Amino acid sequence: MPARKPTVRIATPRLRTQLDEKTLTVDEVEDEDRLTDLALTDQDLGGLLAEHLELSGCRLTRVNLGGSDLDKLILVDLEIDHCDLANARWADASGTRLAISSSRLTGFAGSGTNLQHVTVRDSVLDFSSFRFAKFVKVEFTDCRLQSADFVSADLTGTVFRRCDLTGVEFSQVTANGAVFVDCTWDGTRGIGSLAGATIANSSPIDTLAVTIAMASALGIKLGDPDDSPEAGPGSS
């Protein structure tokens, strides 16, 4: 009997039992600020602009960060729940031990991000961009990623579980050891770059969608046996 593969364990955020409740405004946050051990709830930080900002050991609940531009952001031990990150631009950000749940990341731009030990659950990431990003022990579960862009991202070992990958772009990714379980694949592009990944679908419809996308990437036309040319005279 073959040995079972070890389970990839994703570390959870390490937060203090008691966090300091704090109210912030966009004008109070400056470049290179370090915000630690805070609980931010029901706050509007939409359009926040800063460089080299660090958030460590914090819990964000129903916080609006939509349209924020946070270059080289540093995130460590963070819980993000029911937050709005739509159209946020977090280029070259780094994140370690993050748990994102039930949040909106439509149009999120995270090019060049480096994420380690991250879970993203029940969230919407339509039209998000993770070009040239690197993922280490990252799992997306029950997420919608329609038309997301992963061009040239390193997805080694990343798990996508029950995610909607309709129209996602995977061109030039590195996907050795990546796992896709019961995902939706309609119109997915660049699927030929997923060499080394495992795709498992319990739905025949989703399996067919993968087959069609893979055949298209390889330039193979799928036909019906009834439409094939009949054997002519002299055929064996």
Once rounded to an integer, what is the mean pLDDT over residues 191-213?
79
pLDDT at 123: 98
Tokens of 45: 């930080």
What mean pLDDT value characterizes the chain?
A: 90
Over the stretch 137-149, which tens digit does the pLDDT of each residue have? Answer: 999 999 999 999 9
Instruction: State the Cα–Cα distance between residues 133 and 152, nearest whole angstrom.
Output: 8
pTM higher than 0.75: yes
**Domains (ranges, CATH) in the chain?**
31-219 (2.160.20.80)
